[in-house]
Amino acid sequence: MILFTFNIANIQADPKNGIQISDEERLKISEDNTKAILRILDIHDVKASFFVEISIAQKLQNLLKAISSKGHEIAFFNKNSSLEEIENAKKFTQELLEKQIRGIRQKDFKLPQESLKLLEFNYVSNIDNANILFPFKRLKRDTQIIEEDGLSIVPESISPYSQLPYNDFVFQMLPMDYYQSMVFETLKKDDFVLIYLNAWQFTDFSTYKFDIPFYRKLNSGKKMEDKLDALLTWINEKEMATSRMKDYIF
């Protein structure tokens, strides 16, 4: 099973050369990028899970409705929010969509699992930082879903052969042929491959002048759309199964 997931969070990088990019503009970039992702998923009839950063969830009501109406899952991405902020966002979003929010994703700032269970989350999908040095820091790890404190803990997927994880950086940098081979070989060994990308990777950095590392600009914007389209085309041609996170876990 292939689990496609996307993180929706505003770009935090500073603009270049003293250019001002407001919070409203950053939010609009996130919306436009997510809509591009939705169009590609819709073309290939693939359902995914979208992890929305908690601090902007209430500002994206129309986008959340659009994502949910197309059959995709809405979950949360916790950057550094408090339990109270998460609880308020969860209550608001559930009332807005009339659906339960089951999943939460964390990276740098991780809250206790027992606290997340009290907020009635069902699964946690933690991710690591991805940068140009990560291949030298990361080796084998468990890729099985486990139960802890009443929660399903979903690890990042990792190729058993190349030892590369299926994170945003790897997808952006690897040639598609190699990436497809990695997915195919991983599914021979593991039950699922969890792929995650960031909405900001679909930004046209020739239009929006953010000060980000050169290697993060490679294959971004329209090239990122083309890569996602190519991967989904290949998956459908090979008749590989895809799923939302909550459906696969439960």
145-172, pLDDT tens digit by residue? 999 888 999 999 999 888 889 999 999 9
198 band by pLDDT with thresholds 50, 70 and 90: very high
Find, among 55, 44, 100, the residue nearest to 228 by Cα. 44
The domain that contains 185 carries what CATH number? 3.20.20.370
Domain extent, residue 151, equals 2-249
What is the tally of structural domains in the chain?
1
Mapped onto helix, strand or coil, the DSSP state of residue 185 is helix
Higher pLDDT residue, 55 or 250? 55
**pTM, entire model:** 0.93
- The distance of Cα 54 from the centroid of its chain, to the nearest Å, equals 14
Mapped onto helix, strand or coil, the DSSP state of residue 7 is strand
To the nearest 10°, report the CA torsion of 23, 24, 26, 32. 160
Conformational region of residue 55, where left means phi above 0, alpha means psi within -120 to 50, and beta covers everything else: alpha
| Average model confidence (pLDDT) across the chain | 92
Q: Are 78 and 88 in contact (CB under 8 A)?
A: no
Measured distance CA(166)–CA(174) in Å, rounded: 11
Measured distance CA(59)–CA(79) in Å, rounded: 16
